[in-house]
């Protein structure tokens, strides 16, 4: 499927995938002020898709997934492009360069990507400053989440301290914080999804928030945990239970998969590269994870669904499976910069067609009794 910038896309696809991504981000960074002119058109949506969740107002349910704006360079642009929220990061306590390039591959026959970026980012100090500057004045206009992860040099047993260090620096610039324990590209990181590690990290963050609130009186920071699609169902359920016990606001499901199942073209260059697979081949797994979590949480946690959402039908399905919010990354590459607007308008249209008056009625509607 094309979009008005189809020619631009063809040009971008001739570039190395990461360079094209940097180019797109730069265009948004530079173009964000100009977008204000067209923003009524880009943000055309009504009360049927507006939600109050985790104490925050989301004008639209379609957000930017983590890892697109790792450096916080286009914080003001996302809302103007029609996104209802954005996750910045993953940000680590220490700046780090990530893995050697090339580390991002397109699989066009599947509209998929494989990446092993490895948390390249400027670190919490610099990124906090950059986000703060972007949020001054007119600000971002939409909720901004900060996604944090363990620095590569930090051993797993010190992961909680590392997350707390990032959290302290970033809390003041975030509307919500996502804990990323599911990237396949930092050695050992996904072990942090085990109950013991997860308990240590999440309770340390919660306690830190409580003690910081004594000084600044801010409302509790909504904390979410982002999980992998490769976890057995029982582990997803366990993480959901734990999140409930520890007072988390929600879960983000899912990160990229290490599996290569579901590819139409498994012999595509890139398919055999080490890293996480995203886009439509991930859709079924990510959707299944949302269903498992939604059944288990029965409304106690906010679920953000991500993985292979390319259009309004995909978003509808994920919401019907139990998500209140959805996010996109790979869809931006293959469907273009208007994807959030297109999906949001598509959801509104389908609600009208099906006689549904508010998006919250769609959430979990496919789960049955
Ligand atoms: C190049 C690339 C980098 C990513 N970096 C991060 C990251 O830093 N942190 C994170 O939580 N997820 C990261 N992700 C995962 C996405 O946020 C998302 O969970 C995943 O790509 C599935 O969604 P999609 O099919 O819409 O791309 C990255 C994905 C891609 C393609």
DSSP letters for 250-293: EEEE---BS--TT-S-TTSTTTTSSSEEESGGGHHHHHHHHHHH
Superfamily of domain 6-361: Aldolase class I (3.20.20.70)
Q: What backbone phi and psi angles, to 5 degrees, belong to 277?
A: -95, 135
Residue ranges in 298-329 assigned as alpha helix (H): 312-320
Please identify, by atom number, the ligand 1 atom nearest to the C-alpha of residue 309.
Answer: 26
Q: Give yes or no for a cis peptide into 254 (omega within 30° of 0).
A: yes
125 C-alpha to ligand 1 centroid (Å): 22
Q: Does the pLDDT value for residue 2 go beyond 50?
A: no
Write the Ramachandran bin of 298: left for phi over 0, alpha for psi from -120 to 50, otherwise beta: left
Question: Which residues, in sequence order, are CB contacts of 158 under 8 Å at separation 6+?
Answer: none
CA 91 to chain CA centroid, Å, is 13
* Residues that are catalytic: 183
* Residue 114 and residue 102 in contact, taking contact as beta carbons nearer than 8 Å: no
Burial of residue 158 (CB within 10 Å: 0-12, 13-18, 19+) is: middle
87 C-alpha to ligand 1 centroid (Å): 10
- Give the number of other CB atoms < 10 A from CB of residue 195: 12
- Closest-CA residue, ligand 1 atom 19, reads 255
* Residue 229 and residue 307 in contact, taking contact as beta carbons nearer than 8 Å: yes
Probe residue for ligand 1, chosen from 72, 176, 256 as the CB with the greatest number of ligand atoms within 8 Å: 256
pLDDT at 1: 40
For residue range 309-368, list pLDDT tens digits in order.
Answer: 999 999 999 999 999 999 999 999 999 999 999 999 999 999 999 999 999 999 999 998
Percent of the chain, pLDDT > 70?
A: 97
Q: Given the DSSP bridges, would you call strands 144-148 and 85-91 parallel, antiparallel or unpaired?
A: parallel
Global pTM value? 0.96
Question: If you average pLDDT over residues 35-40, what whole number do you get?
Answer: 70
How sure is the predictor about 236, in pLDDT bands with cuts at 50, 70 and 90? very high
- Closest-CA residue, ligand 1 atom 18, reads 255
Calculate ∠ Cα 104-280-315, nearest 5°: 120
**H or E stretch at 177:** strand 176-180
Question: If you average pLDDT over residues 124-138, what whole number do you get?
Answer: 93
Task: Round to whole Å and give the CA distance between 110 and 108.
Answer: 5
- Closest-CA residue, ligand 1 atom 5, reads 67
What is the Rg, in whole angstroms, of the alpha carbon atoms belonging to the chain? 19
Question: If you average pLDDT over residues 171-184, what whole number do you get?
Answer: 94
For residue range 247-303, list pLDDT tens digits in order.
Answer: 999 999 999 999 999 999 999 999 999 999 999 999 999 999 999 999 999 999 999
Closest CA to 223 of 274, 281, 177: 177
Domain ranges (residues) in the chain = 6-361
334 C-alpha to ligand 1 centroid (Å): 14
pLDDT at 71: 97
């Amino acid at each position: 499927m094309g979009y008005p910038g189809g020619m631009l896309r063809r040009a971008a696809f001739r570039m190395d995938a990461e360079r094209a991504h940097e180019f797109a981000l730069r265009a948004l960074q530079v173009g964000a002020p100009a977008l204000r002119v067209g923003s009524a058109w880009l943000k055309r949506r009504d009360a049927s898709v507006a939600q109050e969740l985790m104490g925050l107002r989301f004008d639209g349910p379609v957000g930017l997934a983590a890892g697109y704006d790792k450096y916080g360079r286009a914080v003001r642009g996302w809302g103007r492009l029609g996104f209802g929220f954005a996750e910045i990061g993953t940000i680590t306590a220490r700046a780090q360069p990530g893995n050697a390039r090339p580390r991002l591959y397109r699989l066009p026959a599947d509209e998929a990507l494989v990446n092993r970026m490895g948390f390249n980012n400027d670190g919490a100090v610099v990124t906090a400053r950059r986000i703060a500057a972007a949020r001054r004045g007119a600000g971002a206009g939409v909720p901004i989440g900060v996604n944090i992860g363990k620095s590569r040099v930090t051993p797993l047993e010190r992961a909680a301290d590392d997350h707390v260090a990032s959290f302290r620096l970033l809390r003041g610039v975030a509307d919500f914080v996502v804990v990323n324990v599911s990237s396949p590209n930092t050695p050992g990181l996904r072990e942090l999804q085990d109950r013991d590690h997860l308990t240590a990290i999440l309770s340390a963050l919660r306690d830190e928030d409580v003690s910081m609130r004594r000084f600044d009186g801010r409302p509790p920071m909504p904390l979410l945990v982002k999980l992998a699609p490769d976890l057995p169902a029982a582990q997803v359920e366990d993480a959901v239970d734990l999140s409930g016990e520890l007072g988390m606001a929600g879960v983000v499901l899912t990160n990229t998969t290490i599996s290569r199942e579901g590819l139409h073209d498994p012999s595509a260059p890139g398919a055999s590269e080490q890293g996480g697979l995203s886009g439509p081949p991930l859709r079924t797994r990510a959707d299944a994870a949302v269903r498992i979590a939604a059944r288990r949480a029965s409304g106690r946690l906010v679920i953000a669904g991500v993985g292979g959402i390319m259009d309004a039908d995909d978003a509808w399905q994920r919401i019907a499976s139990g998500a209140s919010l959805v996010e996109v990354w790979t869809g931006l590459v293959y469907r273009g910069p208007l994807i959030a607007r297109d999906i949001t308008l598509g959801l509104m249209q389908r609600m009208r067609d099906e006689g549904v008056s508010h998006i919250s009625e769609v959430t979990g509607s496919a789960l049955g009794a």
